[in-house]
């Protein structure tokens, strides 16, 4: 479970940063002081264009002293001070220029750029809006306004600014690029692609437009095109860390893990302190199952943040460090880091009034354990209801509706609440995953007894008729999990990959697959080889009853596996080379579920070896697997 959450890319949009120097046109009649001011202004402008900024500043200060109402001199002095790094001084001079000439659009624009350097986005937006108010065709001001609005996730307003600016500058590539960013933020991806292509057409060397186009192409699943576009961006700007990070994330999404690692390492060579790059590299190393290299990178990130100054990026590093440590079996320590997930962009904390339970002894208090992620997670963590009861509490578990009939049988459960309904008033609450830390869970000290869920006897009787005893081994198959899960491409497989199993005789195969992937039975022409149970699997209590009649479940890592383990039925689980945290790194068994046997990929993407080994073992152990 890895986050865009995580790997990170970023939309890019340039900021106008040139030193804008104005040479004034003298009036037909002027005083000696005004004449001297204009001469000093022209001299200061010439020196600034030569890059002699200290001398330019001195000349422009003379101009302002000679004529205190000379707006161009104030504006030029502000531009030079900005180039010298004196942002506060620059702001003062731009404001003086505006005092003298209230309709001075260029001074408002430069003032906005200066506020941008201070990261005062509110003041910058106000300045850009003022520039536009006095000059409606000011494309650069429209662009920078849109950039700031995009940065603040105000995509509708940003798009409006871009469209206004494009009326007078329809070929402006920066406005087109920012319009693409706004459309992308609004998830109007086809419009975003169109705008980025316009930008590239008008500015073929605009690396940020290529990079942004690559991001949205990845978003719509055009991974090959995305990588090709990102490579163009990197070729145009080989030292642009953002372009490299974006290319690496596309390579990772395409399963090109070694290429992604090299790309992120290249970016890190350019800036060893880059937080996002370290997170991206560590995340792809996790997916490559190189945990020992990933953990130090995450630790570098979390250790560089001062307490109270952590950003969402630092929180993401904590979160993924937690997953890495839990994968190594360090559940308690890992859970403390994983608790930072609530500060990432992926998770939204629940707004509950009761205090958070931290694992202390209880004296009859009700504890609301709220669901947050997958179906399998809810089944796995239902075992802790018994331990909350042992500590003197009354556990109330929130679960999705399809799980409720089964999980209400959990040992020690007080009550079940359906996810999506109004939470009950309880004494305490705790997010489901935080139970690992609150209960000081370790792989050697898993609380609860097995089985901790029960099969409904009435449903079990019905399923004894649907899965009759024929004298042959009865095996259930599941080949795909929920496609919305982030790591689904690594855990799910095509049904046809299971043909080495389905060719065996003396075995009755039953499909416990649900959802769209059920259609693969007909598509693969296996309707006569595999009995489809999906029409009757209306909830997980039905799934449990079906599993209770089978001799064995063979499944990818999905919620059905957890149900089998929780009712203590045998299951063989196909584990990706980079496993989910709960399955650990090496063993063929699981401390969570004694009835499970884990079959691990020897290399990334190698399901053929796993399924061949399972098929061979099934043939060899078929007789001993039959339920007596």
Q: What is the DSSP string of 488-544?
A: HHHH---GGGGHHHHT-SSEEEEE---SGGGGHHHHTT-TTTSEE-GGG--SHHHHH
Exposure of 58 by Cβ count < 10 A (0-12 exposed, 13-18 middle, 19+ buried)? middle
Task: Please name the residues in contact with 298: beta carbons below 8 A apart, sequence gap of 6 or more.
Answer: 278, 279, 282, 317, 318, 320, 321, 324
Please tell me whether residue 418 adopts helix, strand or coil conformation.
strand
Mean pLDDT by 10 residues, the chain (628 residues): 40 54 58 92 94 95 95 95 95 96 96 94 96 96 96 96 95 97 97 97 96 96 95 96 96 93 97 94 94 96 77 91 94 93 89 94 96 94 95 96 96 94 95 93 81 95 91 95 74 92 91 94 92 96 97 96 97 95 91 95 92 94 80
- Identify whether the C-beta of residue 176 lies closer than 8 Å to the C-beta of residue 198: yes
* pTM: predicted TM-score of the whole model, two decimal places: 0.84
What sections of 13-120 are H helices per DSSP?
A: 32-49, 53-66, 71-83, 87-100, 105-117
Q: Give the pLDDT of residue 505.
A: 84
Only one residue has tokens 């089998």, namely 564
Place of tokens 């937080």: 275
E strand intervals along 261-343? none
Report whether 349 contacts 462 (CB < 8 A): no
CA distance 154 to 140: 19
- Using the 8-state DSSP alphabet, how is residue 356 labeled? B
Asked if 265 and 234 count as a contact pair (C-beta separation under 8 A), the reply is: no
413 vs 196: CA distance, rounded Å? 54
* Cis, bond preceding 451 (omega within 30 deg of 0): yes
> Rounded to whole angstroms, how far apart are CA atoms 562 and 569?
10
Query: Would you state the pLDDT for residue 611?
Result: 95
Longest dimension (CA), the chain: 113
Tokens of residue 346, six digits:
């992926």
Half-sphere exposure of 408 (CA within 13 A, CB side): 12
Distance (Å, whole) CA 208 – CA 226: 13
Whether the bond into 189 is cis, omega within 30 of 0:
no
pLDDT at 5: 36
Q: Could you tell me the two tokens for 228?
A: 């090709």
CB-based burial label for 470 (10 Å; 0-12, 13-18, 19+): exposed
Strand-by-strand arrangement of the 531-532 sheet: 531-532, 507-511, 473-478, 552-556, 571-575, 596-600
φ and ψ at residue 134, rounded to 5 degrees: -95, -10
Return d(Cα 317, Cα 299) in angstroms, integer.
8
For 293, the token pair is 């290299």
Q: What string of H, E and C letters represents the secondary structure of 235-263?
A: HHCCCCHHHHHHHHHHHHHCCCHHHHHHH
276 CB-near residues (< 8 Å, 6+ apart): 8, 10, 245, 313
Other CB atoms within 10 Å distance of the CB of residue 164: 17
Q: In a 3-state reduction of DSSP, which class is residue 103?
A: coil
Strand 507-511 to strand 473-478: parallel, antiparallel, or no bridges (unpaired)? parallel
- Spatial CB neighbours of 522, under 8 Å, sequence gap ≥ 6: none
Look at strands 571-575 and 473-478 and give their pairing: unpaired
- The span from the CA of 549 to the CA of 541, in Å, is 13
Distance between CA atoms of 365 and 358, rounded to whole angstroms? 13
- Bridge partners (DSSP) of residue 572 are 554, 597
Q: Which pLDDT score, from 0 to 100, does residue 604 have?
A: 87
CA atoms of 560 and 166, how far apart (whole Å): 54
**Ordered DSSP codes for 467-480:** S---SSEEEEEE--
- E strand or H helix that includes residue 394: strand 394-399
In the prediction, which pLDDT does 586 show?
A: 84
Strand partners, 431: 370
And the tokens for 471? 């004298």
Total Cβ atoms within 10 A of residue 27: 10
């Amino acid at each position: 479970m890895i986050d865009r959450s995580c790997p990170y890319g970023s939309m890019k949009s340039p900021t106008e940063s040139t030193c804008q120097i104005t040479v004034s046109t003298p009036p037909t009649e002027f005083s000696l002081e005004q004449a001297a001011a204009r001469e000093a202004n022209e001299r200061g402008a010439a020196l600034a264009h030569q890059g002699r900024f200290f001398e330019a500043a001195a000349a422009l200060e003379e101009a302002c002293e000679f004529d205190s109402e000379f707006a161009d001199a104030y504006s030029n002095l502000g531009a030079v001070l900005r180039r010298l790094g004196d942002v506060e001084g620059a702001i003062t001079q731009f404001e003086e220029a505006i005092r003298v000439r209230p309709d001075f659009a260029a001074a408002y624009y430069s003032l906005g750029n200066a506020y941008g350097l201070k990261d005062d986005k509110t003041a910058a937006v106000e300045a850009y809006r003022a520039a536009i108010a006095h000059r409606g065709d000011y494309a650069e001001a429209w662009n920078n306004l849109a950039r700031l609005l995009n940065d603040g996730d105000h995509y509708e307003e940003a798009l409006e600014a871009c469209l206004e600016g494009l009326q007078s500058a329809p070929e402006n590539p920066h406005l087109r690029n920012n319009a693409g960013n706004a459309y992308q933020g609004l998830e109007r991806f086809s419009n975003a692609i169109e705008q980025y292509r316009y930008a590239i057409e008008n500015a073929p060397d605009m690396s940020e437009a290529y990079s942004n186009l690559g991001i949205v192409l990845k978003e719509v699943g055009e991974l090959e095109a995305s990588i090709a576009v990102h490579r163009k961006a990197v070729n145009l700007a080989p030292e642009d860390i953002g372009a490299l990070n974006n290319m690496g994330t596309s390579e990772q999404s395409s399963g090109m893990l070694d290429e992604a690692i090299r790309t992120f390492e290249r970016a890190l060579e350019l800036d060893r302190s880059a937080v996002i790059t370290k997170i991206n590299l560590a995340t792809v190393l996790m997916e490559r199952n190189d945990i020992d290299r990933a953990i130090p990178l995450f630790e570098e990130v979390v250790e560089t943040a001062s307490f109270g100054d952590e950003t969402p990026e630092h929180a993401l590093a904590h979160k993924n460090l937690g997953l890495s440590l839990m994968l190594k079996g360090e559940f308690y320590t890992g859970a403390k880091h994983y608790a930072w997930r609530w500060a990432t962009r992926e998770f939204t904390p629940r707004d509950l009034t009761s205090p958070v339970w931290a694992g202390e002894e209880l004296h009859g208090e009700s504890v609301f354990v709220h669901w947050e992620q997958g179906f399998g997670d809810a089944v796995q963590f239902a075992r802790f209801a018994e331990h909350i009861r042992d500590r003197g509490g009354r556990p109330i578990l929130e679960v999705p509706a399809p799980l409720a009939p089964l999980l209400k049988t959990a040992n020690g459960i007080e009550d079940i609440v359906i996810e999506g309904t109004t939470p009950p008033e309880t004494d305490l609450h705790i997010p489901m995953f935080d139970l690992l830390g609150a209960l000081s869970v370790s792989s050697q000290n898993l609380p609860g007894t097995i089985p901790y869920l029960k099969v409904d006897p009435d449903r079990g009787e019905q399923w004894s008729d649907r899965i009759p005893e024929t004298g042959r081994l009865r095996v259930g198959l599941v080949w795909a999990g929920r496609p919305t899960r982030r790591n689904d491409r690594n855990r799910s497989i095509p049904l046809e990959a299971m043909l080495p199993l389905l060719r065996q005789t003396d075995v009755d195969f039953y499909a416990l697959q649900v959802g769209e992937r059920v259609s693969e039975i007909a598509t693969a022409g296996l309707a006569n080889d595999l009995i489809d149970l999906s029409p009757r699997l209306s909830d997980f209590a039905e799934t449990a009853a079906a599993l209770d009649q089978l001799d064995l479940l063979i499944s990818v890592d999905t919620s059905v596996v957890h149900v089998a383990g929780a009712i203590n039925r045998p299951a063989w689980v196909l584990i990706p080379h980079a496993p989910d945290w709960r399955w650990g790194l090496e063993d063929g068994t699981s401390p969570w579920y004694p009835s499970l046997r884990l079959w691990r990929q020897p290399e990334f993407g190698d399901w053929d070896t796993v399924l061949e080994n399972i098929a061979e073992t099934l043939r060899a152990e078929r007789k001993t697997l039959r339920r007596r």
